[in-house]
Amino acid sequence: MKKRIYIITTIFTILVLFTSSIVWFFCDTSLQTNLVNAILDKSGIKISKVNIGTNTIVAENLYAKLSTGTFTADSIIFDYSFSNLFSKNLKGSGEIKNAKFVLSKEKTNSENSSKNISKTNALSDIKAELKLPINLDISSFKGNIDIENGSNCISTYLQLTNVKINNQQLDFELNATTKVQQTSNTNYTLYVKKLEKVCNAKFLHNQTEIALATAEISENLSGNIKVKLTLNKDTLSPISKQFNLDLPNLNAQAYVEANFDLPANAYTINLMSKADISELQQNKFTKDLPFTKCEFLCTAKASIKNNKLSITELSTSLNTNNAPIFSFDCPNPINTNFSNLKDFDWLSIGTLSVSLPSEFIDKKIAGEFSAKGINAIFDVSINKNFSVKIKSTKPATVKDALYIKDKQTIFENLTLFSDIEGTANIKENSFSAKAKLYTQIVSNKKLTIDVNAEYVNKRSTIELKAEGSLKHLASCLKVIDYPLKDDILLDANLQATYNNQLEISKLNAKAMCINSDTPLEICAYDKILFNPQKREFIKPCSVKIRTKDFPFSIFLPFTNGVDAQSISLDSTAMLDNKKISIQGTLTLNDVSYAQNQQTNFHDINLDTTFSASLDIQNLQLIANANKIKLSNSATEFCTATANLNASFPQKTLKLNSLKASASLQLAPIFAMPMLAKYNNIDRASLDANVEINSQEKLNANLKISNFASRSTSNAIETMSANVVADIPSLKNIEAHINAKSERGTTNATIKFEKSQTITAEINAKSIIADDILILKSAFSNPLYIETKNPQAKRKIRRPDEAFSVRKNLPELKTKDLKAFWNINTNALIKFNVGNLKFQESTPLENFSTNITITNTQLELTNLSAKILDGTLKGGLKITFDETLNNPYKIEQTSFLLEKFDISKISTKEFLKGIFTAKISLQSEGINLEHLTKYATGSAVIEGGKGSLLLIDKNSDIGKKIGLAQSAVSLLNTFIGSKSIDNTTKLIDKFERINFDTAKFKLSRNNKDFNINLDTAEILAPDFLLKSLSGTIYFDALKPIIEHDIEIVLAIYSNNEQLLKMLGSVNALDIKSDIIDMRKSEDFKILGTIEKPQTNIIDILTNKATSNATQKKLRNIKIF
């Protein structure tokens, strides 16, 4: 009894402990969490809290590190019935909340494992191996998951329903709806239903079907799969927006049907697809495509059974405009046995056809290259070693090719043919190719180019041979007027191999012109061995390049406008260790250069001896041109030498040093067509020495000797300049300029510094203006101006036409868009001139001013100078506002010139005396010429104790007056009249008028822009010379010295003696506008500013001689 009680007590105790353990397990979440994490530790899954209840399992803060990214979820909840576990059934439903899968940036390769299924295995055998200890019956499992890939995120709602998994059954229904975040109201839905032997799947965009698939699998692992795929622009637009893709207007359909029998190892597949692009979007990838519509077709039928492959149908094509561009066809069935691959050599699998129409070539291939067509047909074969071979079944053709560069036709109507054969082994990564390229036959001659290339075991080999006539090729070149009778025969060979080092075993080329005695030859006498890793030649070798009087025309496509009659070259290049050196002589005969259909120069002969050395490891270049000679048919006008030292760090040119010297005759240089506009030099020679050091400092010394213009007999003995500058920035420039002639010496210094603001200082100790004019005339060809400007000689317009004409001037039609001084930075320039000499006088001394420049303002301040022995003070301010009709504006500006000697203005001393002038001006304009030509303002000029030359006896009018005096004197001797004697005295009196004071007032308005003489009063001891009116008529089409003048003057006096003399010649007016003074008759100054004329001689002589003669004749009695 006691034993029985003991057994019962023990069993009860065990049950209590077991029950307590179960209760403790369900109550202690910490224990549950630690136990689950321990089980999942090796899988990389961590859960912060696990709560397993009798009806619910909750896992919180799930984290899983996967090979493709990280998976997180706030919680997973699963409701189940604990009691069902005792019957090996798990029934329930679940939900996952806030799940997120973040794809990793690095891609990892996963190992793929597969099992071989024997022929005896069936579905039941697989089920037996996959026996489950429990039956799953899940009514629903749902949740949201966000998939992130960088900045892109896709949100998907997943729902699994009717999941039944046991040893006899695997059925489920899946509904997955994906929403792209950046697209509203757009869903992609995947629906999969597996029930017994049939599995159906649908993929939808909103309600539009994209893909439909059906699979049926029997018990013995045989069955079939059918898939239908439909794509269009609407279904793909959300994806294109999400990933910024410019997808075309696509309409594509594909049908795939496959049957399989795994135990029998038999498979068949049928594929048919069609894609239409009706509107190709223009983007950076498609902008050069010549079509906006295309069609792609593909059909295939194949089967595998008992290791035998049979392809009964295979064709693909890309069509545009209903014509195929590319197509591949398998005309005959393909049958092969995988079990006998050792007997499998080459098997033809089809024909590849390429037919590119002209409109495709125009845009796709090169933009400026076109042809009427490119056609080729290739036979495609494969072999047991996974090699692919293509071989042209007939010559590939490029017909009537045309190439245009920079709007110039390089060649046209070029037709080429080619036989091509190539083999590529995908498995061994090797290939070989053979090609024969030949031109159209002309006069039973053609050019043939044979190319053999091979790549095996990382070793590349190429062999090239070109032989034949360049006649067809030359006839197609349109950059030259090629003489077809001078056919050129080419014979060239190249053999090269690369396998960690480059070996050129053969290099020679010979071009022979029919009418030339010597060919153009390039020949390497030894093998060229080069190690590119070490950048060195393994052993010394030499390459010879030579020719003599070879026609230059074949080089024209590569010389960008430079042409020559012939070229002679004798040079040798040495390739040794880390250095390439070359030396030789070069001669070019009758060199010319043309651009934009304009000849810049011609008839130039070049002779030079040169040498160069390149350190290919340190990229150091040393080049020397020891003797450069330039000549034309008449004379040698240039000799020069040059030495260059440069390096190429980081593939950019760094100039270490440059030295060059040259002696030139400027007259032949400026006689070239491109400088004809400036060609008025009679003679001049230039010696130049230029040096640039490693600090990029330029030092140039220039000296011009015996400089003379054709327009003058004067010459400048020497001109020299020394320029020091930082290049290429030009931050600091300093120049010293000297010129010497028999008229004196010009000496100037210029300093320039560029930072945020440009500062410059120009100091000229002395300037000889006559020499400046010689320079100006030497660089201005008057014959060129007359030839190029037929409107230079214009109609002389009268004053009343001037204002209307100015509105139609060419310069008024061109409005400056920015100020002429605008250099996109601010500047301060100090300008000083010691003295300026002109025609043996010094009209300007001690000139100084500061010039301040901004983008919109030019201002002269502290302007002072000694001009004509007087003192000049003033300033000038010009502003620019592009928004105004007249952007330029000179505000009210005043100048004061005090106590200047007016006689120094003209060598004839027309007016003598010490004067003071006050000048004010203002202007507006659309450009500089308009601004200066149409300035307005006023001037007051006052002086005293001087004289006015009214009659210059050395001028034409003076000679006329002298002749009149002689006639009057002769007449006075015969007639004896007092009035005639007074005429002579008056002419002498008014030849030069001595005055006590003189005052002139001038003004110019913006109505007619004439210069008006408002006041002119010259007070002499016994009379007053006064202007009644005066105008200098403006003509915009003529220089100011040719402007017409019309000034009316009169003499006022109360001196009785003078009045009697004027009265005796009837030169007194009956009226006077000044009280107590009598007025003479009006006389005029007419003509132009350069050639004035006066009618004073007529007033003083005509009436006096006429009256005296009539009186004397009345007293003579005949008979």
Q: What is the pLDDT of residues 209-233, one digit of tens each?
A: 888 888 888 877 788 898 888 887 7
**Residues in Cβ contact with 1092 at an 8 Å cutoff, skipping those fewer than 6 apart:** 1045, 1085, 1086
What Cα–Cα distance (Å) separates residue 992 from each residue in 910, 1028, 1056, 1098? 9, 20, 21, 18
For 76-100, what is the mean pLDDT? 80
User: Is the pLDDT score of 972 beyond 50?
Assistant: no
The predicted pLDDT at position 243 comes to: 62
pLDDT, residue 147, reads 83
- Predicted pLDDT at 100: 87
Q: What is the pLDDT of residue 859?
A: 92
The stretch 763-786 carries a mean pLDDT of 84
For 904, other C-beta atoms within 10 Å of its C-beta total: 17
pLDDT band at 81 (very low <50, low <70, confident <90, very high): confident
35: left (phi over 0), alpha (psi -120 to 50) or beta: alpha
The most confident of 182-186, 200-204, 1091-1095, by mean pLDDT: 200-204
Q: Which of the listed ranges 11-25, 397-411, 647-661 does the model predict with the highest average pLDDT? A: 647-661
pLDDT of residue 1100: 65
Q: Tell me the three state secondary structure of residue 714.
A: coil
Place of tokens 């005055």: 995
pLDDT, tens digit (0-9, with 9 covering 90-100), for 825-846 = 899 999 999 998 888 788 889 9
Closest to 670 measured CA to CA, from 505, 771, 780:
780
Mean pLDDT, range 109-115, rounded to an integer: 41
Separation between Cα atoms, residue 200 and residue 213, nearest integer Å? 6
Measured CA distances, 291 to 76, 276, 319, 617, 651 (Å): 54, 13, 10, 49, 40
Contact 1063, 1035 (CB under 8 A): no
Asked if residue 764 lies in contact with residue 748, where contact means CB atoms within 8 angstroms, the answer is yes
Residues of 154-191 as b/e, b for ≥16 C-beta within 10 angstroms?
A: bebebebeebbbbeeebebbbbbbbbbeeeeebebbbe
First CA to last CA distance, the chain: 215
Smallest CA-to-CA distance from 889 within 929, 939, 933, 926 is with 926
What is the structure's pLDDT at 482? 45
Main-chain dihedrals φ then ψ at residue 810, nearest 5 degrees: -60, -40
Whole-number Å distance between alpha carbons of 315 and 297: 8
Q: Inform me whether the pLDDT recorded for 766 exceeds 50.
A: yes
Total residues belonging to the chain: 1119
Which residue has better confidence, 291 or 302? 302
Query: Which whole number is the average pLDDT over 1027-1044?
Result: 89
Q: 1096-1115 and 978-991 helices cross at what angle (nearest 10)? A: 170
- How would residue 941 be classed by pLDDT, with cut points 50, 70 and 90? very high
Structure confidence at residue 1003 (pLDDT): 94
Scan for tokens 């100084």, then name that residue: 848
Report strand pairing: 459-469 vs 69-80: unpaired
* pLDDT for 1119 beyond 50: no
pLDDT digits (tens, 9 = 90+) for 1004-1017: 988 889 999 999 99
Asked if pLDDT for residue 115 goes beyond 60, the answer is no
Report how far residue 461's alpha carbon sits from residue 489's, in angstroms, rounded to the nearest whole number: 27
Q: List all residues 6 or more positions away from 84 whose beta carbon is below 8 Å from its beta carbon.
A: 90, 91
Q: How confident is the model at residue 643 (pLDDT cuts 50, 70, 90)?
A: very high
Sorting pLDDT into bands at 50, 70 and 90, what band is 790? very low
| Mean pLDDT calculated for residue range 890-913 | 84
Q: pLDDT class for 497, splitting at 50, 70, 90?
A: very high
Summarised one tens digit per residue, pLDDT across range 606-628 is 999 999 999 888 888 999 998 89
pLDDT value at 114 more than 70: no
Cα–Cα dist 563/595, whole Å: 11
Name the residue with tokens 């010691």.
834
Q: How far apart are CA 936 and CA 1079, in angstroms?
A: 33
Share of the chain above pLDDT 90, in %: 22
Stretch among 288-292, 982-986, 1048-1052, 1086-1090 having the lowest mean pLDDT: 288-292
Alpha carbon distances (Å) from 124 to 120, 128, 130, 208, 220: 11, 6, 10, 39, 8
Q: Residue 804: count other Cβ atoms within 10 Å of its Cβ.
A: 10
Residue 659 has pLDDT above 60, yes or no: yes
pLDDT tens per residue across span 400-438:
888 777 777 777 888 888 888 888 887 778 888 898 888
Mean pLDDT of 943-957: 73
In angstroms, rounded to a whole number, what is the distance separating the alpha carbons of residues 445 and 608?
Answer: 37
CA distance 904 to 866: 13
pLDDT digits (tens, 9 = 90+) for 177-198: 887 655 556 778 888 887 778 8
Among 18-22, 731-735, 802-806, which is the least confidently predicted range? Answer: 802-806
Tell me the whole-structure pTM to 2 decimals. 0.58
How far is CA 588 from its chain centroid?
Answer: 32
Distance CA 1045, CA 1090 (A): 10
Cβ atoms of 1017 and 1028 closer than 8 Å: no
Confidence of residue 144 (pLDDT cuts 50, 70, 90): confident
Q: How confident is the model at residue 558 (pLDDT cuts 50, 70, 90)?
A: low
Helix segments in 456-503, DSSP class H: 471-476
Least confident window among 17-26, 265-274, 494-503, 943-952: 17-26
Of 699 and 249, more confident: 699
Q: What is the average pLDDT across 664-671?
A: 90
969 pLDDT higher than 70: no
Which alpha helices (H) appear in 598-647, and where do they start and end?
Answer: none
State percent of the chain over pLDDT 70. Answer: 80
Mean pLDDT over the full length of the chain: 79
pLDDT at 779: 86
Closest CA to 79 of 50, 49, 53: 53
pLDDT score recorded for residue 355: 83
Report helix, strand or coil for 27.
helix
The lowest-confidence range among 44-48, 453-457, 491-495, 705-709 is 44-48
* Unique residue bearing structure tokens 């561009």: 325
Query: What pLDDT shows up at residue 429?
Result: 82
Residue 480 has pLDDT above 60, yes or no: no
* pLDDT on residue 282: 63
pLDDT given for residue 954 in this prediction: 61
21-35, 761-775, 981-995: which range is least confident on average? 21-35
Task: pLDDT band for 37, please (50, 70, 90 cuts).
Answer: confident
Report which of residues 189 and 981 the model is more confident about.
189
CA distance 58 to 74: 10
- 8 A C-beta contact, residue 733 and residue 762: no
pLDDT at site 907? 62
Mean pLDDT over 894-906 rounds to 87
What is the C-alpha separation between 40 and 58, in angstroms, rounded?
16
Mean pLDDT of all residues in 519-543: 88
Mean pLDDT of 379-393: 84
User: Residues 1097-1112: what's their mean pLDDT?
Assistant: 52
Mean pLDDT over 129-138 rounds to 66
Concatenating the DSSP letter of every residue in 46-68 gives EEEEEEE-SSEEEEEEEEEEETT
Domain assignments of the chain as residue spans, ordered by start: 2-105+124-180, 621-788, 825-917, 950-1115
**Radius of gyration of the chain from Cα atoms?**
52
Q: Which two tokens stand for residue 444?
A: 């039973």
Are 235 and 229 within 8 A, CB to CB? no
pLDDT of 534 higher than 80: yes
Exposure b/e, 384-420, CB count within 10 A at least 16 = b: eeebebbbbeebbebbebbbbeeeeebbeebbbbbbb
Strand partners for 894: 920
Highest mean pLDDT among 277-281, 365-369, 670-674, 955-959: 670-674
Smallest Cα–Cα separation from 138: which of 181, 191, 188, 80? 80
Quote the CA–CA distance of 1021 and 907 in Å, as a whole number.
Answer: 26
| pLDDT for position 801 | 37
The sign one gets for the Cα dihedral 332, 333, 337, 341 is positive
Shortest CA distance to 294 belongs to which of 312, 274, 311?
274
Contact present, 1013 and 999 (Cβ < 8 Å): no
The arithmetic mean of pLDDT across residues 767-779, rounded, is 89
